[in-house]
Amino acid sequence: MLIWLRTTALAAALAVAPVMQAAPAQAATDFAAWLEALRQDAGAQGISEATLREALTGVQPIPRVLELDRRQPEGTITFARYIERVVTAQRVRRGRGLYRQHRAVLEEVGRKYGVQPRFIVALWGIETSFGSNQGGFKVIDALATLAYDGRRSAYFRKELINALRILDEDHIGADRMLGSWAGAMGQSQFMPSSFLRYAVDFDRDGKRDIWGTLPDVFASAANYLSTVGWNPDRTWGREVRIPKHFKESHAGLQTRKTLRDWQAMGVRQVDGGPLPVVALEASLVLPDGPKGRAFLVYDNYRTIMDWNRSTYFATAVGLLSDRIGGAD
């Protein structure tokens, strides 16, 4: 789940590059030859002919996917503006309601994988607005487009083979395998490789369904976090106040200090109180620079960044999880 597969922290204004330069007839011929080679490769890797026939028949490049892949950001929004858009009062209310509604399964998942349910709900909310915005692209078609003519063709070719393997294992049908323009799938927005590595059949129906089965969605997210190092005895971090004339060189995930050290440097809780007396190392994150909000973050924050390598995203997950969990 790489940040270049996301658009959450990028600017709204984007420039679109020209696409599909080849003449239509030649382009169609070239793509057909490429698709046949892909079919042969997938078959050699064990994908059944029935799956290949179902998934690849009629597949054509999607110009809109190439536009989205090739566009370049003209700038970035501030962290403050990003949080206004992502951690909204409506999303907090919705998250709390869904937490209450699905508390039993969320707590069961949390106990099994050692992940506090509020973080599962927060990821669910930010990734797909609790499943309501999973993306409308056919994953096979989008990945075939990017594998054929994208800037990262080798990467997307591997993801396409992985997506075909998911179909071959009968977790989902090709018509229901929908996701983002870059192939991120389902309510947890897993790339196919992440699906194969982390997705869970929690309800034991024989399918790892991250599109429509909430126990599988929750358990898959929790399994991801747990596998990459989540500590259930810790939170993600906390907002803090920094002193005037704080040296920005002390900020960043590459710098770790104990809470006692940060306290000695003048860092305080956001209400002005002292930092907790806990033997814990933390890093200071300043998403908008020294004049913006400041956060001391722990190793679980780094685990969230394994999911999406954006400090905006990771901080938003932390803040939303706090509010969903009632830590206003």
Of all residues in the chain, the percent with pLDDT exceeding 90 is 85
Question: Residue 287 half-sphere exposure, CB side, CA atoms within 13 Å?
Answer: 22
CA 306 to chain centre: 9
The H or E element that residue 117 is part of is helix 117-128
Q: Is the pLDDT of residue 24 over 60?
A: no
Per-residue confidence (pLDDT) for residue 151, from 0 to 100: 83
The answer to whether 163 and 177 have CB atoms below 8 angstroms apart is yes
pLDDT digits 0-9 by tens, 49-59: 999 999 999 99
- Which has the closest alpha carbon to 190: 124, 238, 268? 124
pLDDT class for 96, splitting at 50, 70, 90?
Answer: very high
CA distances from 223 to 6, 114, 307, 316 (A): 21, 9, 12, 20
Q: Is the pLDDT of residue 16 over 70?
A: no
Question: Residue 30 half-sphere exposure, CB side, CA atoms within 13 Å?
Answer: 12
pLDDT digits 0-9 by tens, 109-144: 999 999 999 999 999 999 999 999 999 999 999 999
Q: Is the pLDDT of residue 146 over 60?
A: yes
Sign of CA dihedral 140, 124, 313, 198: negative
Who has greater pLDDT, 182 or 12?
A: 182
Sequential DSSP letters for 176-195: T-EE-TT--BTTTTB-HHHH
CA distances from 48 to 54, 165, 185, 214 (A): 10, 9, 22, 29
pLDDT class for 19, splitting at 50, 70, 90?
Answer: very low
Per-residue confidence (pLDDT) for residue 4, from 0 to 100: 39
Cα separation, 176 vs 161, whole angstroms: 17
Q: Is the pLDDT of residue 3 over 60?
A: no
SS3 category, 231: coil
Q: How many residues belong to the chain?
A: 328
Q: Which residues contact 79 (CB under 8 A, 6 or more apart)?
A: 287, 288, 292, 293, 311, 312, 315
